Amino acid sequence: MTLSPIRRRLLYRAMHRGFKEADLVIGNFAKRHLEDMTSAEVDEFSSLLEVPDQELYAWIIGREDVPDNYNGPVFRKMRDFEVATLLLSGSA
């Protein structure tokens, strides 16, 4: 995977969120999808990474409602990512 410097920084931030569950979901999602994201999707992903870990993770697993301004295509793809689904089912 050859990423631009901006995407490499986003990948690093996604993989080092602060607690294991967020690292698994967000980091693995970034590893899988960041390379193929459009510029608009990269911008959305970058905005999502600005959200505090616990809050973003609560949105992903459905513990809290996601605000409309964050509920875009990238967030929905992250929420539906198989690692997030495994965590929700308790299989991970």
pLDDT band at 19, cuts 50/70/90?
Answer: confident
5-89: CATH, from 3.30.9.10, 3.40.50.261, 1.10.150.250, 1.25.40.20: 1.10.150.250
Give the mean model confidence (pLDDT) for residues 44-54: 96
- Inform me whether the pLDDT recorded for 24 exceeds 90: no
Give the mean model confidence (pLDDT) for residues 27-39: 95
pLDDT tens digits, residue range 77-87?
Answer: 999 887 666 66
Give the mean model confidence (pLDDT) for residues 12-41: 93
Domain residue extents for the chain: 5-89
Least confident of 48-52, 80-84, 86-90: 86-90
**Gap between the Cα atoms of 42 and 48, Å rounded:** 10
Q: Which residue has the tokens 């999602």?
A: 29
**DSSP secondary structure code for residue 50 in this structure:** T
